[in-house]
């Protein structure tokens, strides 16, 4: 691919001076249109070192309202970020609707550094496949993000020349000040890696644009033209999009998993008390061992209203050191959260190394309440199964324990619990009109739960359906399941 690029193209100075201010003006106008259309944009620069990426970014942003963009550099990745799943830093920093993120090298850089051997071979962290990168970009573009990928191309000879001339004048000295710096340039090795990258990640939803940078003026004008063209297209596409009708369509091939569970399972209060004390203690011990080994844990709770999530979380955490876990209650997204990809807000709460994050309701809202209530389109919730599996797989890859619980009760039991709550002055706060409304859609929810269990019960992030009619039985099952998962993780 790179060979075919004509690096000799040159734009005359007079042409450049005529075109440049006009292109900037056009780009500035586009930024405002994108803001008003609430389209989030990611512009990513990758390419040979010494290929004027810094200069390009400076020229580009001179057109933009500084309140509407942020610039990131992969070379600023911290040691702390390297202890998190690979994509965590990018998820956490996604642009809001109408904002622009500009990446001075991003996920490709980190991967390529490793592929070339510039980075510690032993570091698992840099291992990320093109497949994972493609999936990440697809998830974003599917939700309306625009991703523009610019590859800055120069010849080996030009690279040598630029560096000899003093890379410091390239428009970004920052690079030479940050760890990694401009050392270890190996044109041939990078060329091979780049060819591979361009071949395997040039997707229709996020294509590569190779820009010849042998001549600076040519590179600047070419880049601006590409950005203007692509952003104009993105705006047009958005305007032509017809809003899909949201709907919950049941897939008849999904088995009725929930009916397999025997809700008469129960244990006595006495047996519960005895077991509970032992399990609580054991959980505390395991928490410390996991902390020592820096193994993080994510526990996800879903279940019917009044299914006993809160009680189970309380017992699960009773023996844990509060310094090592966090419970994240999840509600409907607020206005600010709605300006991001629906998974964005969960990435903000992944645990620090060795710690535990418990979610009381989760990202599965997409395929449960959002599906049933029509807050997500059919396409959205259908592809969410894969998106969620991908996310959990990334956590597991980083060594996280990922465990999910569905708290299962039947409709009669829910009725009894709702009534009991209404009649108990200490518990009426737990029951709302909405709970009764949700209950009317029991069948639709049941289909959604079955499909969720069917499609997202993976080896690395399994579901455990908890027979929760007996609260005692349920709590013990949750604790025992977690203990087993933790012990397995420690044995590895």
Q: What are the residues binding a second copy (CB under 8 A)?
A: 29, 32, 36, 54, 57-58, 61-62, 65-68, 70-73, 76, 78, 80, 102, 104, 172-175, 177-178, 288, 291-292, 310, 313-314, 317-318, 321-324, 326-329, 334-336, 358, 360, 426, 429
Name the minimum Å distance from CB 416 to a second copy: 22
In sequence order, what are the beta bridge partners of 302? 406
Q: Which of 311, 374 has the CB closer to a second copy?
A: 311
Pick the closer one to a second copy by CB: 290 or 402.
290
Nearest alpha carbon to residue 145 among 370, 344, 401, 413: 344
- CA distances for 268 relative to 272, 378, 470, angstroms: 6, 44, 9
* Rounded least distance, CB 204 to a second copy, Å: 29
Cβ(103)–Cβ(74) under 8 Å?
yes
What is the Cα–Cα distance from 348 to 343, expressed in whole angstroms? 9
Shortest spacing between CB 68 and a second copy, in angstroms: 8
Report in angstroms how near the CB of residue 56 gets to a second copy at its nearest: 11
Residue 159: CB minimum distance to a second copy, A: 21
Complex with a second copy: residue 447 or 486, whichever CB lies closer: 486
CB 358, min distance to a second copy, A: 7
Nearer to a second copy, 84 or 446 (CB): 84
- 61 vs 396 by CB, closer to a second copy: 61
CB of 103 to a second copy, least distance (A): 10
State the minimum distance, in angstroms, from the CB of residue 45 to a second copy.
Answer: 11
Nearest CB to a second copy, comparing residues 48 and 359: 359
Q: Which is nearer to a second copy, 304 or 381 (CB)?
A: 304
Q: Which is nearer to a second copy, 61 or 226 (CB)?
A: 61
Nearest to 359 by CA among 396, 316, 328: 328
Residue 247 near residue 378 (C-beta atoms within 8 A): yes
Q: How far is the CB of 327 from a second copy (least distance, A)?
A: 4
Query: CB-wise, 314 or 411, nearer to a second copy?
Result: 314
- The DSSP code for 203 is B
Q: How far is the CB of 257 from a second copy (least distance, A)?
A: 28
Provide the token pair at 177.
């000040």
Query: Are residues 347 and 91 in contact, defined by beta-carbon separation less than 8 angstroms?
Result: yes
Nearer to a second copy, 204 or 426 (CB): 426
């Amino acid at each position: 691919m790179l060979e075919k690029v004509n690096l000799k193209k040159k734009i005359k100075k007079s042409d450049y001076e005529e075109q440049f201010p006009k292109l900037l003006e056009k780009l500035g106008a586009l930024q405002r249109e994108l803001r008003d259309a609430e389209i989030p944009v990611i512009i990513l620069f990758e390419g040979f070192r010494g290929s004027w990426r810094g200069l390009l970014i400076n020229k580009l942003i001179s057109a933009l309202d500084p309140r509407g963009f942020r610039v990131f550099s992969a070379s600023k990745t911290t040691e702390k970020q390297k202890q998190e799943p690979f994509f965590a830093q990018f998820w956490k920093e996604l642009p809001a609707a109408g904002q622009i993120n500009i990446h001075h090298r991003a996920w490709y850089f980190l991967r390529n550094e490793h592929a070339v051997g510039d980075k510690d071979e032993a570091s698992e962290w840099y291992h990320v496949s093109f497949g994972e990168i493609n999936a990440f970009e697809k998830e974003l573009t599917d939700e309306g993000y625009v991703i523009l990928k610019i590859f800055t191309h120069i010849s080996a000879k030009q690279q040598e020349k630029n560096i000899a001339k003093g890379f410091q004048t390239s428009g970004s000295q920052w690079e030479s000040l940050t760890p990694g710096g401009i050392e270890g340039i190996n044109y041939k090795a990078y060329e091979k890696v780049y060819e591979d990258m361009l071949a395997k990640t040039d997707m229709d939803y996020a294509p590569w644009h190779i820009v010849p940078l042998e001549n600076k003026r040519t590179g600047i004008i070419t880049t601006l033209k590409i950005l203007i063209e692509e952003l104009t297209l993105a705006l047009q596409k958005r305007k032509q999009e017809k809003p899909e009708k949201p709907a919950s369509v049941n897939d008849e091939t999904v088995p009725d998993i929930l009916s397999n569970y025997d809700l008469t399972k129960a244990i006595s209060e006495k047996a519960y008390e005895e077991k509970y004390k032992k399990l609580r203690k054991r959980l505390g011990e395991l928490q410390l061992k996991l902390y020592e080994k820096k193994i993080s844990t994510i526990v996800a709770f879903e279940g019917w209203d009044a299914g006993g999530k809160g009680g189970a979380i309380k017992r699960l955490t009773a023996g844990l050191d509060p310094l090592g876990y966090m419970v994240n209650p999840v509600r409907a997204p607020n206005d600010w959260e709605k300006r991001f990809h629906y998974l964005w807000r969960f990435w903000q709460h992944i645990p620090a190394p060795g710690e535990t994050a418990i979610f009381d309701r989760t990202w599965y809202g997409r395929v449960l309440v959002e599906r049933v209530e029509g807050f997500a389109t059919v396409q959205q919730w259908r592809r969410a199964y894969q998106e969620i599996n991908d996310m959990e797989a990334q956590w597991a890859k980083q060594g996280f324990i990922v465990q999910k619980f569905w708290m299962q009760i039947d409709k009669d039991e829910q009725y009894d619990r709702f009534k009991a709550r209404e009649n108990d002055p200490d518990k009426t706060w737990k029951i709302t009109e909405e709970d009764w409304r949700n209950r009317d859609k029991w069948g639709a929810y049941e289909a959604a739960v079955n499909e969720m269990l069917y499609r997202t019960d993976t080896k690395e992030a399994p579901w455990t359906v908890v027979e929760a009619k007996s609260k005692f039985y349920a709590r013990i099952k949750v604790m025992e399941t977690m203990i087993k998962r933790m012990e397995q993780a420690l044995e590895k």
